[in-house]
């Protein structure tokens, strides 16, 4: 149970950092959390064990995945 809470908190932080890196502003705590969690899944799927294991590598992977996810979302929603 505590692992899920830690993963969600790291996902929220990764989403916030990814939002700051991509657009310069956060999207709100809920959206940042969702983007970070899905970004972590996307980053883990794309990069697998490339960065190794551990919390820091997982966080870096989640931030990279969040930035990629934000980029994909911006391509889809671009008018």
| pLDDT tens by residue, the chain, 79 residues | 777 787 778 878 888 888 888 776 666 778 777 888 888 788 878 876 676 777 787 788 888 888 888 888 888 887 5
C-alpha–C-alpha distance, residues 48 and 40, integer Å: 11
The pTM of this model reads 0.78
C-alpha–C-alpha distance, residues 45 and 77, integer Å: 24
Q: Indicate the SS3 state at residue 25.
A: coil
């Amino acid at each position: 149970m505590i692992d899920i809470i830690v993963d969600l908190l790291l996902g929220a932080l990764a989403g916030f950092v990814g939002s700051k890196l991509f657009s310069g502003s956060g999207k709100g705590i809920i959206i940042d959390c969702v983007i970070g969690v899905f970004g972590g899944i996307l980053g883990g799927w794309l990069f697998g064990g490339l960065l190794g294991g551990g919390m820091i590598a997982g966080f870096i992977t989640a931030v990279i995945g969040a930035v990629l996810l934000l980029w994909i979302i911006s391509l889809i929603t671009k008018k």
